[in-house]
Structure 1
Amino acid sequence: MTRTLEWELRLGLTEDDGTTRAEAVLDTGTTKLTGHGVARCNPQDVDVPVIGDELAASRAMKDIAAQLMKAADEELETVGAGPASGPVAPPYAWSDTTA
């Protein structure tokens, strides 16, 4: 069976006084997940705004990734593919590694 899906990711960035904040919203068509990330420039470092953008955005997307993994773990558990509780050592279903 072939399936094709398209999920929309919207990412907003704001910067104020050396602090960059990111909000990422993932719309899967059936649910929306929101992730947040923050990056602060050390006052002793050179202010390079793009670095703050990249750090804050990556942290917001990492937040969404964690939410997606939690949802997948819960759904795997409901179909009997994962342990009933506690931390899971990958891979017990979909592998996190690339071949």
Structure 2
Amino acid sequence: MRAKPGDHIVLAAGHVGEPVRDGEILVVKGADGAPPYEVRWSDGRVGLVFPGPDAELREAGGAEGGGAAERSAAEPIHEWQVRVAIFESGDETTARVALISDSIFGLNASGGSRRHEGDPAVPRIGDEIAVARALRHLADQMLAMAGHDVEDATGGSGVDLRPE
């Protein structure tokens, strides 16, 4: 990772449910843009960071800041990730999912499944069901948030965004 002052850094949460950290690089202390970096985090605190593999660097004035005409069609404007954690206890499985994003913070959801006593024990099936339910809850939250954003932007009310 090579950075310069003014670049932005985003650190993924260490665990599901924890917030993503983002900030502006103020000082590059390593040679040729190498870490460590002095960063002003979005909460106003300043600290020294040695970024790990969960860090993403966004160059100042790069694709993030340019207009649509400056970007190629294959270049993403934003990149979001969903982190999934699966917990099992006996016949019950719980999945927790968190959206890792540079613009939406704190979105997470959970889902569960329970094996019927007469069914064979196949943990993968419980995992699939629990994760699918958690992702559906996350999607519902995102649609509700987008609906509120549409209402705020248009001054309308009663916006109902449905999954297609």
The structure-2 alpha-carbon separation of the partners of 1:26 and 1:65, relative to structure 1 and needing over 3 Å to count, comes to: same
TM-score (norm 2): 0.50
Spell out structure 1 runs of 4+ moving beyond 2 A.
Answer: 87-90
Q: CA RMSD in A?
A: 2.0
Map residues 2-41 of structure 1 onto 2, 5 A cutoff: 2=71, 4-30=77-103, 31-41=105-115
User: What TM-score do the two structures reach when normalised by structure 1?
Assistant: 0.80
Once the 2 structures are TM-superposed, how far is the Cα of residue 9 of structure 1 from its aligned partner? 1.2
State the shift of 1:61 in Å: 0.7
As a proportion of its length, which structure holds more helix? 1
Corresponding residue of 2:37: none
Could you list the per-position Cα deviations for residues 31-50 of structure 1 after superposition, in whole angstroms to 9, with x for gaps in the alignment?
13111000000001111100
Bigger CA radius of gyration = 2
Partner of 1:93: none
Paired position in structure 2 for 1:57: 131
Q: Deviations over 1:22-81 (max 9, x none)?
A: 000112123131110000000011111000000000111111101100010001111228
Unpaired runs of 5+ in structure 1?
A: 91-95
Higher relative contact order (CA 8 A, sep 6+): 1
2:160 is aligned to 88
Q: In percent, how many aligned pairs have the same letter? A: 27
What code does the residue aligned with 1:32 have?
A: G
Aligned residues: 90
